[in-house]
Amino acid sequence: MKLDILNTEGKSTGRSISLPEDVFGIEPNEHVMYLAVKSYLAHQRQGTHKSKERGEIKGSTRKIKKQKGTGTARAGSLKNPLFRSGGRVFGPRPRKYTVKLNRKVRRLATASALSQKAAEGKIRIMEDFTFEAPKTKQFVNLLSGLDLVSQKSLIVTADYDKNVYLSGKNIQRCGVMEAKDLTTYNILNSNVLVVSESAIEKIKETLASA
């Protein structure tokens, strides 16, 4: 697949680039994409939730009233979960939510997401660019030239560029990411993927070594 290379104003530079078929031209596998997104979201959970159960509540364990003759239910302790400030029954405990994926599955999921975006025509290739200083206005002008101000987009650069990253940090519906950090979730979570020219080879290298 060949795509035109655009400049920062969103106009064609007259050059084009061929996308690697093994990364942008495979048959998307929806199941592995689901597994990759599930794994990503699971890794975002801290798993530090905890509530005190009956044995962890501070207080007396004496029997609060006699067993029979009160007309109410039996009660042996103030820690009873039925009482206010009593222990919780089967409350949450700290745990890990991580979902392990094999290396080949992760690679296939990322390639499937990129191929799906390419097939939908939602990938745009831009010539390498940078800013002399962090300027949000310049970043907005770049998005305006690409007609992406109102769309959820992701800018993928070959390497970390501090000025580009800081320029787009405060803009809603747009993110900036290095090619090596690209995930299936980030790809699918954006409407349009804007990839810098040199990031194409970086993505291919990352997936080859993944």
Domain 2-45+97-209, classified CATH 3.40.1370.10, yes or no: yes
Per-residue pLDDT tens over the stretch 140-195: 999 999 999 888 999 999 999 899 999 998 888 899 999 999 999 999 999 999 99
Nearest to 41 by CA among 207, 210, 186, 206: 186
pLDDT tens digit string along 71-122? Answer: 999 888 889 898 888 999 999 999 999 999 999 999 999 999 999 999 999 9
Q: Which residues contact 78 (CB under 8 A, 6 or more apart)?
A: 59, 60, 64, 85, 86
**Is residue 162 exposed (0-12), middle (13-18) or buried (19+ Cβ within 10 Å)?**
exposed
Are 133 and 140 spatial neighbours (Cβ–Cβ below 8 Å)? no
Q: And the tokens for 161?
A: 């560029």
Distance of alpha carbon 115 from its chain centroid, rounded? 18
* CA separation for the pair 205, 210 (Å, rounded): 8
Q: Where are the domains of the chain?
A: 2-45+97-209, 50-95
